Copies of this chain bind each other. A is one copy, B any other.
C-alpha cells in the first residue's frame, strides 16, 4: 500500500497499534512493527527507567520504525521525552495535553510527531504546533477520550473536510472492513487498540483478556467526565462510580472513589472487580487471543477482500 502515513513512517501497512497503558510494552510494539504495522510503546504506565529499558529492548527486537506514546499531563513527561530523544526513538505520539509543549523540541531532534485529538479545534491546534499527522479518536474508543463525544463516523469526515494533514482514525476499528470504512470516511490510516490488547504479546493480565472475550455490547461506558473521560468496563468498580453519581458526589469525592492505581490493578494485575478495565466498544466482537502478526495479516486480508466486494455494491 502507498499512502501518506505509510510514507511518513516507512511502514508497509497503514495500521498503527495504539500505545496503551499496561498493555503495550516492547514485545507488542516490536512484533507489530515486524509485521508491517507501526508498534507503539505506551509510556503512560512506565517510570523513566522502565521506559528506557522497553525502548532498548524494542530496538533490539526490530529494525523497523516504532513509536512511543506520551500522555503530556503525566508526571514523568519531561524525563520520558529526554530518554526518547537520547535513545533516538523515530516517532512520538503525544496525547492528553497541549501539542505546543513538546512538538518543536521533538522535531528539532528529527523525531516525527503525531498528536491525538477528539475534535476540530484540537486538530487545528496540533496542526499549528507543527505535528506531522493527527490521530482522530472517536467516542467508542477505549481508555481516555474527549469531552465532545463525537463518534468515529462523524469525526473523520469532519476533520477530513476541514484539514489537509495526514489523518489516522481511532475508535471502533478492529477489522479489515472497519479499516476500509474508516479510509472511505477520509482516514489515511487506522489506529487499533482493543484488538491488540487481545494479542499474545500484550501485557494485559490474562484475567482481563478473558473478561474482554465475555463482554457484550453495552458493557463499556464513557464515565468520570468531570475528571478525565475514560471508557471502561461496567464492572464492580464502575458500580461504585455510579453510586457516587447517584449520591450527587462532587468532583473531589469522585476522585476519592477513583483513588490511585486502578488501571494497573485491573489491566495488569487482573483484579476484575476493583480495577479500572479500559477497553473500547468493539470489545463485544473480540473473543480470541492471537499473535499480533496474525491480527495484522487477518486485517490486511479482510481489507483486500472487502475492496473487491465493493464493486458488487
Residues facing B in A156-191 (CB within 8 A) are: 157-158, 161, 171-173, 175, 177-178, 180-186
User: What is the distance, in angstroms, from A135's C-beta to the closest C-beta of chain B?
Assistant: 15
A-side interface residues, number (CB < 8 Å)? 48
Within 8 Å by CB of A311, from B139, B217, B281, B307, lies B307
Q: Indicate whether A10 reaches chain B with its CB closer than 8 angstroms.
A: no
- Complex contact A153–B177 (CB within 8 A): no
Q: A119-B217, A149-B218, A158-B285 are in contact. List 5 more A-B contacts (CB 8 A).
A: A120-B217, A138-B153, A149-B221, A149-B222, A178-B185
Top-9 shortest CB links A-B: A153-B172, A148-B218, A248-B248, A181-B181, A151-B151, A154-B281, A140-B151, A181-B184, A152-B153
Q: Indicate whether A257 reaches chain B with its CB closer than 8 angstroms.
A: no
- Complex contact B180–A186 (CB within 8 A): no
Q: Indicate whether A255 reaches chain B with its CB closer than 8 angstroms.
A: no
User: What is the distance, in angstroms, from A288's C-beta to the closest C-beta of chain B?
Assistant: 14
Q: Which residues of chain B come closer than 8 Å to A171, judged between CB atoms?
A: 151, 153
Q: Which residues of chain B come closer than 8 Å to A281, judged between CB atoms?
A: 150-151, 154
Residues facing B in A296-313 (CB within 8 A) are: 306-307, 310-311, 313
User: What is the distance, in angstroms, from A122's C-beta to the closest C-beta of chain B?
Assistant: 10
Q: Indicate whether A284 reaches chain B with its CB closer than 8 angstroms.
A: yes
Q: What are 28 inter-chain pairs, A to B, with CB distance below 8 A? A: A3-B313, A119-B217, A119-B218, A139-B151, A148-B217, A149-B218, A150-B218, A150-B281, A151-B152, A152-B153, A153-B171, A154-B172, A154-B217, A154-B280, A154-B284, A154-B285, A155-B217, A157-B178, A157-B285, A158-B217, A158-B284, A161-B285, A180-B184, A181-B184, A183-B310, A183-B313, A184-B306, A307-B311
- Measured CA separation A175–B161 after assembly (Å): 12
Please give me the residue from chain B that is nearest to A246 by CB atom: B248
User: What is the distance, in angstroms, from A160's C-beta to the closest C-beta of chain B?
Assistant: 9
- Complex contact A177–B150 (CB within 8 A): no
User: What is the distance, in angstroms, from A144's C-beta to the closest C-beta of chain B?
Assistant: 17
Q: Indicate whether A216 reaches chain B with its CB closer than 8 angstroms.
A: yes
- Measured CA separation A184–B311 after assembly (Å): 11
Binding site for B on A (CB under 8 A): 1, 3, 119-120, 138-140, 147-155, 157-158, 161, 171-173, 175, 177-178, 180-186, 216-218, 221-222, 248, 280-282, 284-285, 306-307, 310-311, 313
Q: Which residues of chain B come closer than 8 Å to A180, judged between CB atoms?
A: 184, 310, 313
Q: Which residues of chain B come closer than 8 Å to A222, judged between CB atoms?
A: 149
Most buried by B among A171, A182, A221, A284: A284
